[in-house]
């Protein structure tokens, strides 16, 4: 087979219409073989003829989309120095755009023999047991696709799993369920439109691996936080299968369709580690290409890996080619797949320079200056499992963060913990204590009560303890301190009072989430009462435990959630671009924000210190919203008084007596009454409003 010199860039396999260019980076390689596979799995090896700046490359005429391939790298085998090259191992292209098949966990895919893990090199051929990369057709008719470009402060994020969303949907064709295409099937899309969310945040869709130990227990890596190819769309989510790279076309169609409905697509990305694990893990890609460049190794013994993620390895974000891989991947998803942003898993790991998390690390610098990536939505999970890894509030100005302190505080408040009132006030107003002094706005805070990792909302109000027995780890896995409250009974019950309280608590959490400043993130399924039976670590449950149960959906809760989102959209006072000042606005005599005791008096410093206090009123002035709208007009809204009663007993709230705070107040939301209260009742200054125990009431100034 005749091969031309080709070009070193772009890396990966690039089809140009008449043939395909292949390029692979390896600083330690002595030879690189391109391995081509026919329909029967027969392998043809072609040595890449050129090396430029450590990139091995060649061009093959007549190699077209659908061609399956991999690499074999000849180089040093010296684990003590961090080198693990072995041409017996077929390696996935780090820049592959599509992958066909899954890893078969044969001994051949490991670098050692099972009976001698620290001994001789394993030279068994891994080719028959490895998935294969696929050359793709890069061309796609985007038509007039335009990103919705939703301002951050107007965003409502829906965190959802591609497969779990539709796998049990009765109105989606059975052959398509669980796929990229199914997510935008008219029946599934109708639910997103009913809620009116502005963005879907998809759990990982990079090609990932199902861990061998999970498969041995009859489980799978459902969440997908086990990436192996950062530019490849996961093949199991393709309705048409992944053997020809069709998953790429399906994913692009999904993005285009969501954009037509004004919905952005945010990808959950896992650049902190790969599926190759530690020194006992398999050789699938980077480990056999250039182990010492791609991974952070223990300085004193380079056989072993630094692990800030709890998964066995951490990518070496100090190496320029690793940074290039991450940035090339991000740009591919934006420019070629048209996604609108990213949520970075365990993002603190990406910011580690030598050991500590560094706010000025190369990773942040390169994101900041990139003309493409700096313009999309960037969301950090601001922690990892290493020392000093909890970095909530410490990311640079371009970034928003999953606000773990919001989750913890709101959970504690509604389960009745003492001394939460001050923290609750901070979280409700966008966490200015974390973000206001760093050049960021309230939209820096991505507020959430639940996420994929942990209890669902229904389980949060139904269980005090985790119930992870189905994971096969004797219930040792998962978080043990959930800040949950079962309302008096553990798990399902027929007690109508307990069930009524649980329903109210769900509405309380949702009301708090959507009335808070910042970006609300709703865990997909919480709006319909989805339960995982108390499993708070369902990462391995690719079954009914995790999939949406559409036929048991709580329609009343869906309606309540949709009304809340619509209410937030209609009233910009709940999604301000700027911070509250908490003081009189230029002679108007009324503040933009006011905190009141239940007796109608403004709270003082001493009031915030009462550990028993769990109730307060919040005045939100719609006439004092800073900034202008896109047309340059002043933003004006209605004015609201939000009453939070965190006590278990009803409580009378006296309205502020001064008429300038408001002369007439009308109830518009009441979580004790399942949402909007259709009433003619109007309250005057100084009048009492009865608020049921554990309830949120929203009053609008008339």
**Which residues are known to be catalytic?**
345, 381
Report which DSSP code applies to 630. Answer: T
Q: What are phi and psi of 439, to 5 degrees?
A: 80, 15
CA distance 695 to 592: 24
Residue 675 three-state SS = strand
CA nearest 132: which of 103, 153, 110?
103
Read out DSSP for 313-344? Answer: --B-TTSHHHHHHHHHHHHHHHHTT---EEEE
Residue 635 three-state SS = coil
Report yes or no: 273 and 305 within 8 Å, Cβ to Cβ.
no
CA distance 570 to 659: 25
Convert 412-441 into a string of H (helix), E (strand) and C (coil). HHHCCCCCCHHHHHHHHCCCHHHHHHHCCC
Neighbours of 464 (CB within 10 A): 15
Give the chain's radius of gyration (CA, Å): 27
CA distance 625 to 53: 55
Residue 668 three-state SS = strand
For residue 450, what are the contacts with CB-CB under 8 A and spacing of at least 6? Answer: 407, 456, 457, 460, 523, 526
Residue 505 three-state SS = helix
Report yes or no: 164 and 548 within 8 Å, Cβ to Cβ.
yes
Please state, in angstroms and as integers, the Cα–Cα distance from residue 664 to each residue in 59, 219, 248, 689, following that order. 76, 59, 57, 12
CA distance 403 to 123: 47
Q: Which H/E stretch holds residue 120?
A: strand 116-121
Report yes or no: 98 and 242 within 8 Å, Cβ to Cβ.
yes
Q: Which H/E stretch holds residue 195?
A: helix 186-195
CA distance 89 to 70: 10
Distance of CA 29 to the CA centre of its chain: 36
Q: Is the dihedral of CA 93, 137, 262, 334 positive or negative?
A: positive
- Strands 116-121 vs 132-134: parallel, antiparallel or unpaired: unpaired
Convert 41-70 into a string of H (helix), E (strand) and C (coil). CCEEEEECCEEECCEEEEEEECCCCCCEEE
């Amino acid at each position: 087979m005749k091969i031309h010199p080709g070009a070193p860039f772009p890396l990966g396999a690039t089809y140009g219409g008449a043939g395909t260019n292949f390029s692979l980076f390896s600083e330690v390689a002595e030879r690189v073989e391109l391995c081509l596979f026919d329909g029967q799995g027969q392998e043809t090896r072609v040595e890449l003829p050129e090396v430029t700046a450590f990139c091995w490359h060649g061009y093959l005429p007549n190699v077209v989309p659908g061609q399956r391939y991999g690499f074999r790298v000849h180089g040093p085998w010296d684990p003590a120095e961090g080198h693990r090259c072995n041409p017996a191992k077929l390696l996935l292209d780090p820049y592959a755009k599509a992958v066909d098949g899954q890893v078969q966990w044969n001994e051949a895919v490991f670098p050692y023999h099972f009976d001698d893990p620290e001994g001789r090199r394993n030279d068994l051929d891994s080719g028959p047991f490895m998935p294969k990369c696929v050359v793709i057709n890069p061309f796609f008719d985007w038509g007039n696709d335009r990103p919705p470009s939703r301002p951050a402060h107007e965003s409502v994020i829906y965190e959802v799993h591609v497969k779990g969303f539709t796998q049990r949907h009765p109105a989606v064709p059975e052959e398509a369920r669980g796929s990229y295409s199914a997510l935008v099937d008219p029946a599934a899309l109708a639910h997103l439109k009913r809620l009116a969310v502005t963005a879907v945040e998809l759990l990982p869709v990079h090609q990932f691996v199902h861990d061998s130990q999970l498969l041995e227990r009859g489980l799978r890596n459902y969440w997908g936080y086990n990436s192996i190819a950062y530019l490849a769309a996961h093949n199991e989510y393709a309705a048409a299968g992944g053997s020809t790279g069709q998953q790429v076309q399906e994913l692009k169609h999904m993005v285009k369709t969501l954009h037509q409905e004004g919905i952005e697509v945010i990808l959950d990305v896992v650049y902190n580690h790969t599926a190759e694990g530690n020194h006992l893990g398999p050789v699938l890609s980077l480990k056999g290409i250039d182990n010492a460049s791609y991974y952070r190794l223990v300085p004193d013994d380079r056989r072993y890996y630094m692990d800030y993620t709890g998964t066995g390895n951490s990518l070496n974000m100090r190496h320029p080619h690793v940074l290039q891989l991450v940035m090339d991947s991000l740009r591919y998803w934006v420019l070629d797949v048209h996604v609108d942003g990213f949520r970075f898993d365990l993002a603190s790991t990406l910011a580690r320079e030598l050991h500590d998390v560094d706010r000025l690390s190369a990773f942040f610098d390169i994101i900041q200056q990139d003309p493409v990536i700096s313009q999309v939505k960037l969301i950090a999970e601001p922690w990892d499992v290493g020392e000093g890894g909890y970095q909530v509030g410490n990311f640079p100005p371009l970034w928003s963060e999953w606000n773990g302190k919001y989750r913890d505080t709101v959970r504690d408040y509604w389960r009745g913990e003492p001394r939460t009132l001050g923290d609750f006030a901070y979280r409700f107003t966008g966490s200015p204590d974390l973000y206001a002094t760093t050049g960021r706005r309230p939209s820096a805070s991505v507020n959430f009560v639940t996420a994929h990792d942990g209890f669902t909302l229904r389980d949060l109000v139904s269980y005090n303890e985790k119930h992870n027995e189905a994971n096969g780890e004797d219930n040792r896995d998962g978080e043990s301190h959930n800040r949950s409250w079962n309302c008096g009974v553990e798990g399902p019950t027929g007690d109508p009072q307990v069930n009524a309280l649980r329903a109210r608590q769900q509405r309380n959490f949702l009301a708090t989430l959507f009335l808070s400043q910042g970006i609300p993130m709703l865990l997909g399924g919480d709006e319909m009462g989805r339960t995982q039976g108390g499993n708070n670590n369902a990462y391995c449950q690719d079954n009914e435990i995790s999939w949406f149960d559409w036929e048991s959906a709580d329609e009343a809760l869906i309606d309540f959630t949709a009304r809340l989102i619509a209410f937030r959209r209609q009233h910009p006072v709940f999604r301000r671009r700027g911070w509250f000042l908490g003081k009189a606005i230029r002679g108007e005599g009324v503040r933009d924000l006011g905190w009141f005791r239940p007796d109608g008096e403004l709270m003082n410093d001493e009031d915030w210190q009462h550990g028993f206090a769990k109730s307060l009123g919040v005045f939100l002035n719609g006439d004092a919203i800073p900034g202008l709208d896109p047309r340059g007009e002043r933003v004006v809204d209605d004015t609201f008084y939000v009453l939070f009663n965190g006590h278990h007993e009803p409580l009378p709230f006296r309205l502020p007596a001064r008429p300038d705070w408001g002369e007439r107040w009308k109830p518009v939301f009441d979580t004790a009454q399942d949402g909007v209260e259709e009433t003619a009742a109007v309250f005057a200054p100084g009048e009492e409003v009865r608020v049921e125990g554990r309830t949120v009431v929203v009053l609008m100034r008339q």
